[in-house]
Amino acid sequence: MNILSDATLRALLDDDVPCGDLTTGALGIGGCAGRMEFRARQGMRVCGVEEASRLCMLAGVRPSLGAVSGETLAAGQLILVGHGDAAALHQAWKAAQVLIEWASGIASAAADIVAAAGGVPVACTRKNVPGTKAMSAKAVRAGGATMHRLGLSETLLVFPEHRVFLAEDAAGTVAHLRAREPEKKIVVEVQDVGSALIWAAAGADVLQLEKLTPAVVATCRAALPRGQGPLLAAAGGIRADNAAAYAAAGADLLVTSSPYHAPPQDVAVSFVPC
């Protein structure tokens, strides 16, 4: 399923070829028939193939998929093939390549954290690069993770920045939120064990343990056994190299933004005249 609309994909093409392809036109090769093949240059969790395929179609290239988003590919494995004339192939080439590389970078990083977490669910925040939320969310899911929240409209998450405006105690806040939004889980961000215990006693459904070390998460877990209190979501600084430690400490969920900072995966594109 495509996530990006035709209008968005067309804008990517127009951005790369705003006034025609000067080199292809000057060489006089635009009408030559050919194909281009996209292959993984390294092992990766691929994403963005469907959007790249549609982008090719908009440029006048006939695509066929060699893989789908969410697949784990080995180096050299085929991702996408496009047939068309040289003018169309060159128009679609870089926009499609960069889209797959960038989205696969996020998906691969998310997959690495999921693997390291050893079965503890992994969720990504909404701290994606501005303007990329739709594809970032698709890439996160392609990596086997889920979205923590896509925006302010869908979940109740009480930050310390909210609490500075409140005069009521924690129990009063939880009661107020349950009355106003009875179908929603109440998530509260805390930054120390004491606050975690206060909000657990108040009846919060989830405690978001912000930038706490695995040792402190383990202390919270010992004080709040599973099944006898809120879920514990470890957040802030979660990466593939420490996810296992947070999972072992007893977190019920790992919340991370790190996949959005991952380097793109490398996709090789080769051209063959037909």
Q: Where are the domains of the chain?
A: 6-107+263-273, 114-261
- Which fold, 6-107+263-273? Aldehyde Oxidoreductase; domain 3 (3.90.1170)
Q: Is 180 exposed, middle or buried (0-12, 13-18, 19+ CB in 10 A)?
A: exposed
pLDDT tens for the 274 residues of the chain, in order: 678 999 999 999 999 999 999 999 999 999 999 999 999 999 999 999 999 999 999 999 999 999 999 999 999 999 999 999 999 999 999 999 999 999 999 999 999 999 999 999 999 999 999 999 999 999 999 999 999 999 999 999 999 999 999 999 999 999 999 999 999 999 999 999 999 999 999 999 999 999 999 999 999 999 999 988 999 999 999 999 999 999 999 999 999 999 999 999 999 999 999 9
**Of 46, 53, 59, 50, whose CA–CA distance to 10 is shortest?**
59
- Which fold, 114-261? TIM Barrel (3.20.20)
Q: Provide the token pair at 149.
A: 């929240």
Q: Provide the token pair at 256.
A: 């991370």
